[in-house]
Structure 1
Amino acid sequence: MIMDTQPVLGDWKIKIITHGRSEEKVFTVAHYVLPKFEVSIEVPAFGLASDTTLQGTVKATYTYGKPVKGTVKLRAKLDYWYRPWQYNGSEPMVELSLNVRTG
């Protein structure tokens, strides 16, 4: 059913009469609220500067359990946990956008 761009909100009743029979149904017109979802990320607790790959899992599901379709923006950089005065900021940073797939 096509709705007006600014419909009157509230409860509505529709009544159908055909072939001597009638049927009534009540429905609600309300503001659309985007469903809430949760994102979980599973990656190793640490990596080595010599590592050439990083594997992990990103899961996004709506509160009712259905998977979320979208894009993940991944940003990874090398961080030192010792001798920060030797950090020169030249270590590469990786930034990727990946489509989320289900299954």
Structure 2
Amino acid sequence: MTTLGTKELLKDWADINWKLVRKRIINLRQRIYRATGNRQWNNVLSLMKLMLHSYSNLLLSVIKVTLENQGKKTAGIDNQKVLTQISHFNQ
């Protein structure tokens, strides 16, 4: 099983350092923006690929879908709703 860049499997959402996750993604987005402005297309392509395979990007994507999405109150195929707040995410 792949862990997408983690050294060990996480047991709980509270174990995630959300500040570091956001910082990594913001940094990567800024690097893509600068490379695009400088017309460094090979670098842009490499950075975009890095973003797609980033564990931090995966974590933020899951948060967007489960907690920030307007459809979060709609039950899925398993009739489950995710309505718990992750207090550490908002720090």
Tell me if TM exceeds 0.5.
no
Higher helix share: 2
User: Larger Rg: 1 or 2?
Assistant: 1
TM-score using structure 2 length: 0.20
TM-score using structure 1 length: 0.19
Report 1 or 2 for greater relative contact order, CA contacts < 8 Å, sequence distance ≥ 6: 2
